[in-house]
Amino acid sequence: MRIFRFLLLLLAGVTFAGVPAVAGEKIGVVLMHGKNRTASEKSPIGKLAYALEVADFIVVAPDMPWSRSRGFDRTYAETMAEIDRAVANLKDKGATKIVVGGHSLGANAALGYGARREGLAGILAIAPGHTIDGDGFHNLVDYDYRRAKEMVAAGKGDEETGFKDVNQGMKSTKTMKAKVYLSWFDPEGSAPMPKNAANLKPGTPLMWIIGERDRLMMKRGKEYAFAKAPAHDKSAYVVIGGGHKATPTKGKKEIIAWLKGL
C-alpha cells in the first residue's frame, strides 16, 4: 500500500511538474512604431508598450530604420535582422513565447518578419500601413521605385537621392539609398502585405486590428491581407473606434486580451 501511495505521489509530481512550465511561460512582444515616428513614452506605441508591461508582458520597442531620426537607413532584409536582435533581447529578458507586432509601417514589417521566421507565438498588425502593392499608391509617388530600380541595375544602389513617399495622404520626399527605397517600395518586392500575410508560417496566429475611421484599411477589409493568412483558431480581425493613429491606444484592451489567449 505504501508503495502504491508513493507511486501515486510520484506520478502526481510528474503531472504537476508540467504546470509551472506552462504557468511560468512569459510572452515577449516586439512593438514597432509607424513611419517617421518614435517609440517614446508619449507616442502611441510607447503608451501601448507601457500598458503591456503593466499587464505583465515583456516588451521591447526599438527605434526602427524608418523612425524620425533614422529616416530609412536600412533595407527590408536588414530590418529583419534588426528584429532578430529585438527578439534575442526579449529572450534574454526571460520571454519564452515571442510575438512580433507594430503600428502602420511597423505592422508591415511584422508581417514580413512572420513570413520569414519560424516559431513565433503570434503576429500583431495594428492599423497596418504602407500599401505599396497597388497602382493607387504609386500613382501618388510617380512610380519612383522604377527610378530606384534603374539606379540599382546600373550599380548605383548605394547612392543617396530624394525619393517620393506618401503617408496617410501626405506627400513628401525622403533622401535615402536607391537600394533601400527599392526594397521598401517595389510592388513586386519584399514589403507587400497581401503576399507576406499569405506567406506567414503555418501555426502563426495573426491579430489584425484597425479603427473604424481608418478609411484605407476599412475600405480594403479582411480580404486585402488578413484572409490570405494561413487559418488559425486564435487569429482575430478586430475593428474598434477611432482612426489610424489612435489604434495602439484605443485598442489596448483588445490587444491585451488576445495576447493573454495565446
Whether this model's pTM surpasses 0.75: yes
pLDDT grade for 234, boundaries at 50, 70 and 90: very high
pLDDT grade for 5, boundaries at 50, 70 and 90: very low
pLDDT average, residue stretch 116-136:
97
The tally of CA atoms less than 13 A away on the side-chain side of residue 75 is: 15
What tens digit of pLDDT does each residue of 59-83 get?
Answer: 999 999 999 999 999 999 999 999 9
What residues contact residue 211 under an 8 Å CB cut-off, 6+ apart? 127, 239, 240, 241, 242, 243, 244, 246, 247, 250, 251
pLDDT average, residue stretch 23-49:
94
Domains, in order of start, for the chain: 26-133+189-262 (3.40.50.1820), 134-186 (no CATH)
**Coil vs helix vs strand at 151:** helix
What tens digit of pLDDT does each residue of 173-207 get?
Answer: 999 999 999 999 999 999 999 999 999 999 999 99
Largest CA distance in the chain: 84
* Residue 95 cell numbers, joined: 520571454
pLDDT grade for 169, boundaries at 50, 70 and 90: confident
